[in-house]
Amino acid sequence: MFNDATMDISAWASNPVVLKMLQRARLLLQEGAMNDRDLEELLLAHLKHPSNQHKSEFNEHVLSSRRIMANPEELAAAMNEQLDERQLGNRAYTSGDFQTALHHYARGLNVLRLLQPDNPGDQKVIREAELALLLNSAAAHLACGAYGACMEACSTVLSYDASNTMAHLRRAKAHMLRREYQAADEDLNAAEALSNGSRAQELRSLRHELRLLRLRDRRTDKSVYERMFKA
């Protein structure tokens, strides 16, 4: 990947922290403590890390350089492959193996993101499949306790489909578990407005859970303050 002549990483490589890392890597290569593949994996991990300011540009470059124009046969094969991965992920999720589920959902997403069809109808089909995999990923992240990753997946869905009730509900759950109660309220309100009563029972349950969490936190805070004053 780093032999790609179209990839400009000069801004990233000129970063003093990165320069220091590269100098250390060169020494490790000379000493035989690291091989070329280890170095490439290290650089890729840094480029993909959330703290890297060039992460989005790097990811877009990787995706755009790998996308292919799909003919109908390739599109059908890709759709079948992502469906297989989604079903494998669903089975793993049902059995409680959330990490394996996430692995299969990610594989399905990678298959879809390689495609770049011209036909708007095909683009719509791919987008719908991608959003379904993202929602499944959000559920698995939530079950793993990776609330930030859950929220990110839901936000991506909502960036393409602002009326997606399930994305609002799953993001609300993640906000609740992060004690971000105002944000959870906003997502629940949005879900209620979009669902037209079809999710009334689930919304009642989540609002009840939200009230209990707020009450628990108020009691905890009160207990802390009382101990402080007694001390």
Q: What CATH number was assigned to the domain covering residues 67-144?
A: 1.20.58
Residue span(s) of the chain under CATH 1.20.58 come to 67-144
Q: Each residue of 130-175: pLDDT tens digit?
A: 999 999 999 999 999 999 999 999 999 999 999 999 999 999 999 9
Cα gap 174→29, rounded to integer Å: 43
Domain(s) labelled CATH 1.25.40.10 in the chain stretch across: 153-231
Q: Which CATH architecture has domain 153-231?
A: Alpha Horseshoe (1.25)
pLDDT interval class at 115 (50, 70, 90): confident
**What average pLDDT does the segment 14-40 reach?**
60
Which of the four pLDDT bands, split at 50, 70 and 90, describes residue 31?
A: low
